[in-house]
Structure 1
């Protein structure tokens, strides 16, 4: 395993607990500034650790994002650019290899949607997906059948099954059982992965009534927003309307159920963390992230699929545990790809060759320097699985029929083509394989409705951002396969300070 420069000994991190939700948008908890208190327990744990206000997914799709988390690599390097290419990963040592090298036993419970399988873990429970789960009691199985019957929702009634059969409850039950069965003489890596709050959007009582649809915060744009943005946004909106006429009329119910599911998850996480504290103890690093966001009604859209708006790219992201200094970091722009090298450094393991993420460990433990600020001054993202973008009026073959029957996968066509994203300060730049660009001031225009690309007053800024985007694509060129020559690599995988120093030299 070729490493970066020597890694200093870490504080006493003996165990790592990774909690992941599916399709949870950043900004939907009170701790993140939301008007409703959806996840009070998680917010309380986050307050004792480091919350990153600008956490990003490397790509707004489940399997590619999870592959990036495992490998510390962007999709263009690990080659898994769509959900259907799970087994085609290109990688070196991954997260499981790193924690195994540190002597930790591995436990997984929940939704996998990744290339690693049950046999790769010491203990495993799953797979839990969005409408199916391991065979269980008659009531548990009946719930799965009901989920399938609502065609990915949103449901117009409270779920007619109790909380105990909901997948988050079952997953936490499984995780707690496996913690009790672990080898107490070894450290533990526990990965708990929830299929929720991803569609189908449903929730039982008391969560159904917890957040009144009339009280959920307003969105900024309805379907007119998708039509105004055009392109993939307009395509997706029109196809969803074709399959589900009048679907947007339920947007408030959909938001309320989404918030209710967050509270249900929060209650289950309180059970999980209590068990973690009892069994693993104080020397446990707890990490909370999502794989990507959700429109939650913005642009009149549900789920994900079109474009790389911040509602899809930004995710909740916090870390708590030994050595982590409590703070809300509003400056650093961090990504899922950064978790693998962070865990490696926390466990005093070298960062493997081929890893493109940046270790957050110095930030977590209190380093605030010119180097750390330069390392995390911007975030990079990718989307699309190649080829050309489809036009809004095209109707290619899908996994379902346009008459509204069959398998429900609405957003595959909108991912044809390739897009790249740079996020720096208040500015967001997108560039696409058809040659057009987008530039947004996300502080003034958070839903990215006013494209400033080509604005005569922003020529110098635009050129600077394009240069940085090119730099990102350059430093994320794959180092693998490893050869006989030695690659010089920066400490913590921080290439940003080198780039910042070069830019500053060039400026008068």
Structure 2
């Protein structure tokens, strides 16, 4: 019997902020429980640190350079043969979506579609919901220093969960379903109602690794973004603990809604595969920065990724994996072929507890950038949109002009730019990526080995679409580097 597929996606959720991952605050006890009952991929990465490229990678199993959606404004140009919805339609799945889309698919592609929700609005069914959305809009994507003056039922995650539960209740019990629930939080604006506002006091927020001085030390786009944010909101970093406290409170609010969603699925008697993940991370004050918009730091690139359900082993996996791997994983879970052009690798054997070939799972790549050169520190370009807020225009601080590729292998992280010097970090001793070893002669052999791995990945990610008449040799699970006999 084909399983229900439940995809729970958050937006801009930084990894490592739960008790299970060693954080001092117990932000997400229910999700931690799901992770304990399933496979917790502790080194999962986004394909790109921006919403639409990452979500397109999830749907298509392709990296941004192949699916061609490399910024948030061009989802409609996604390039692929078949995506997740096509695969599941071919397997006679009913398709249900609730929440924030920010992808190349829209309402017409689903059986039910509740939304669209975005970061300051959603479908409004009551006067309180309308008032709350207006209040959110007036926050100007900033940080509220007071509890939200509307109760939790007006919050977007609560409303999205309610919509999802309605679809679940009305879904055909005889057919398998995709239930995709996409929360806009904990993305800015950073706000929470009581009791979440007092969930952790600002003075009890654990210390960050770095402050604003680190952005200046790293220079480049980090210093550019830090100065741009300071010009937008002078002194904003003085209040970073309130911002972090709101963020942690929002994680607990999300955890409560994911629990509510899970309880509402109980009457579905089919087997189930549940996937919980984020599209990308958030600085949460590191480098004196909020949100995203500069660099390929672990704070933005690593994501939570959990697989739970029937047949999934209780385990932690340390192999570096990617959001791109989810489409082929789902293909195998529903007994459908992996579409042509897919670059990800099925994680289903790993979720079942099987060993992972080092050649295939010893490293992972990610991308950032869209044309042109990286902006100079003093540049003040028109960015990808202006928000006519209640006070003054907001320059949206996400721009990714230039191009970069990241490779994670073991404790090492390599970043190569199209127009800037390279970066090399030992993440065991330097988790904030402040000590660039790229030009250090003592690490020439490490650098050479990582550059070779990166080059192999670049060759692997050459787009094979459109199909021609020639037939490539493909190994099972799309494990292209598995030694002979290791991909049964």
TM value normalised by structure 2: 0.97
- Would you say the 8 A contact 1:23–1:303 is kept in 2? yes
Structure 2 residue 329 is matched with structure 1 residue 351: no
2: CA distance, partners of 1:84 / 1:294: 20
Structure 2 residue 406 is matched with structure 1 residue 417: no
The residue aligned with 2:421 is: 436
2: CA distance, partners of 1:272 / 1:223: 39
Shift of 1:323: 0.9
The residue aligned with 1:268 is: 257
1: CA distance, partners of 2:423 / 2:253: 38
The residue aligned with 1:426 is: 411
1: CA distance, partners of 2:217 / 2:192: 32
2: CA distance, partners of 1:46 / 1:401: 38
Deviations 1:92-136 (A, max 9, x none): 100001111121100000000001000000111001100111132
Shift of 1:402: 12
Q: Note the aligned Cα RMSD (angstroms).
A: 1.7
Deviations 1:158-199 (A, max 9, x none): 000000000000001000001111111110111000000000
Structure 2 residue 311 is matched with structure 1 residue 311: no
1: CA distance, partners of 2:265 / 2:439: 52
The residue aligned with 1:8 is: none
Q: Structure 2: 5+ residue runs without aligned partners? A: none
Matches within 5 A, 1:147-296: 147-278=136-267, 280-281=268-269, 283-296=271-284
2: CA distance, partners of 1:335 / 1:101: 25
The residue aligned with 2:447 is: 462
2: CA distance, partners of 1:17 / 1:376: 25
Shift of 1:63: 0.4
How many residues were matched structurally?
484
- Would you say the 8 A contact 2:143–2:243 is kept in 1? yes
- Would you say the 8 A contact 1:151–1:408 is kept in 2? no
Shift of 1:405: 2.2
Name the CA shift for 1:261/1:104 in 2 (closer, same or farther; >3 Å). Answer: same
Shift of 1:35: 0.7
Shift of 1:213: 0.9
2: CA distance, partners of 1:67 / 1:171: 21
The residue aligned with 1:46 is: 35
The residue aligned with 2:379 is: 394
- Would you say the 8 A contact 2:176–2:270 is kept in 1? no
Q: Structure 1: 5+ residue runs without aligned partners? A: 1-11, 502-508
From 492, 497, 500, give the equivalent of 2:482: 497
Deviations 1:290-316 (A, max 9, x none): 000000000000000000000000011
Structure 2 residue 62 is matched with structure 1 residue 73: yes
Instruction: Indicate the SS of the match to 2:238.
Output: helix
